[in-house]
Amino acid sequence: MQIWKNHTAAVQQIDVLLFDAFSGLCLANTIEPMRAANTLAGRALYSWRLLTVDGEPATSSSGMSVAAHGALSGQSGDMLIAMPSYEFARHANETTRRALRAAAGRYAVLAGFDTGSWLLADAGLLDRRRATIHWEELERFGEAFPDVQTERVRFVEDQDRVTCSGAQAAFDVMSHRIGARHGQALRLELATLFMSPDEGTPQDVPVARGRSVSRAIRLMQEHVEQPLPMGEIARQIGRSQKDLEARMKRELGAVPRAVYRRIRLLVARKLLKESDLPMAEVALRAGYQDASAMARAYKAEFGLRPSDERVG
């Protein structure tokens, strides 16, 4: 059973509109999840460009100069993310307002990351919408833009507008949207790759439910070589097996057994690519009694034989 979805989905074009004094961490937390999603999927799911209003390079808050792929004018895509960060007030001017209003007709979704919400609101693009901003600016934001429904949360999605509260929340937004489009199993892989706790945001699920599934996943990751029975996992997290199955199906789109199998096969894939261990040893470390059993599961999950990972 495959637990990813949208295997043939079109490549999404995501553009980041940078301004001087942007946060390098915010930019990395926006781009790296897409780069990793492409790598994990083995094909292009996302394409991105770094833009500025005038096409000139932008300098980050730490003095890093980043060359733009071009000017915003005339560009279009699936999502445009405004990222001004530290000197957002300086960029809230008529030039920016005109550029963002024009872009609203060319992009399916407009987003404001960190303090980018301020620029969207200043252009009238968040009127009568729910939105958030870096919490240090939340009160001032609410006072400046009374037509915006301000919320103190990590990120908000309101139809074709997305806002988030800071650099770390940018990662939350991107991994959430990747999971929503390509399956929660891919989001789980991103969380594992970046050592990010898979807690789920308040927008996704109630905290208690998210914690139960997160604890179950953690147990699976801790018991790969000697897999635990599903009943034992459920017992250790204080849930019935039936309840765990329902929760995981709801949150990840797959039953626990399928999620556990993928976690084990991801361990196998890592060993196949990064070690010279014999196939039998890889199988044992992934919780399989023999290489042939692992090979059947591997082919069903990834569409490849384990030996294909070592060609060349």
Asked if 76 and 41 count as a contact pair (C-beta separation under 8 A), the reply is no
- The reply to whether 63 falls in a domain is yes
Provide CB contacts within 8 A for 278, sequence distance 6+: none
The encoded tokens of residue 133 equal 């901003």
Asked if 57 and 67 count as a contact pair (C-beta separation under 8 A), the reply is yes
Q: What pLDDT score was predicted for residue 8?
A: 58
Nearest CA among 239, 194, 196 for reference residue 216: 239
Q: What are phi and psi of 30, to 5 degrees?
A: -90, -45
Q: Are strands 155-158 and 161-164 parallel, antiparallel or unpaired?
A: antiparallel
Q: Which residues of the chain have pLDDT under 50?
A: 1-4, 198-209
- The reply to whether 192 falls in a domain is no
- The reply to whether 238 falls in a domain is yes
Q: What is the 3-state secondary structure (H, E, C) of 221-242?
A: HHCCCCCCCHHHHHHHCCCCHH
For residues 35 and 169, membership in a common domain is answered with yes
For residues 156 and 33, membership in a common domain is answered with yes
For residues 61 and 129, membership in a common domain is answered with yes
Residue 107 CA to residue 85 CA, distance in Å, equals 21
pLDDT in tens, 273-289: 888 899 999 999 999 99
Q: What pLDDT score was predicted for residue 2?
A: 42
Domain boundary residue, one of 179, 214, 241? 179
Q: What pLDDT score was predicted for residue 84?
A: 96
Residue 189 CA to residue 217 CA, distance in Å, equals 11
Region for residue 134 given its phi and psi (left: phi exceeds 0; alpha: psi -120 to 50; beta: otherwise): beta
- The reply to whether 3 falls in a domain is no
| Whole-prediction pTM | 0.68
Q: What pLDDT score was predicted for residue 196?
A: 66
For residues 174 and 212, membership in a common domain is answered with no
> Is residue 142 within a helix (H) or strand (E), and if so which, with residue range?
helix 138-144
- Residue 118, domain CATH: 3.40.50.880
- Residue 290, domain CATH: 1.10.10.60
- The reply to whether 187 falls in a domain is no
For residues 225 and 279, membership in a common domain is answered with yes
For residues 137 and 212, membership in a common domain is answered with no
CA dist list (Å): 17 to 48, 71, 91: 11, 9, 12
Residue 58 CA to residue 65 CA, distance in Å, equals 6
The encoded tokens of residue 250 equal 């709801």
For residues 127 and 22, membership in a common domain is answered with yes
For residues 121 and 209, membership in a common domain is answered with no
What single letter denotes the amino acid at residue 182? H
Provide CB contacts within 8 A for 98, sequence distance 6+: none
Question: What is the domain range of residue 66?
Answer: 12-179
In the chain, how many domains are there?
2
For residues 126 and 42, membership in a common domain is answered with yes
Give the DSSP letter string of 169-180: HHHHHHHHHHHH
**DSSP label of 9:** P
CA dist list (Å): 14 to 81, 303, 306: 8, 28, 33
**CA 140: distance to chain centroid?**
29
For residues 212 and 173, membership in a common domain is answered with no
The encoded tokens of residue 55 equal 């096409």
- The reply to whether 61 falls in a domain is yes
- The reply to whether 200 falls in a domain is no
Asked if 190 and 33 count as a contact pair (C-beta separation under 8 A), the reply is yes
Burial category of 303 from C-beta neighbours within 10 Å (exposed 0-12, middle 13-18, buried 19 and up): exposed
Edge-first strand listing for the sheet containing 46-52: 70-71, 46-52, 12-18, 77-83, 107-112, 161-164, 155-158
For residues 225 and 305, membership in a common domain is answered with yes
Give the DSSP letter string of 283-303: HHHTT-SSHHHHHHHHHHHHS
For residues 273 and 167, membership in a common domain is answered with no
Residue 119 CA to residue 139 CA, distance in Å, equals 16
- The reply to whether 165 falls in a domain is yes
Residue 286 CA to residue 40 CA, distance in Å, equals 18
Asked if 122 and 116 count as a contact pair (C-beta separation under 8 A), the reply is no
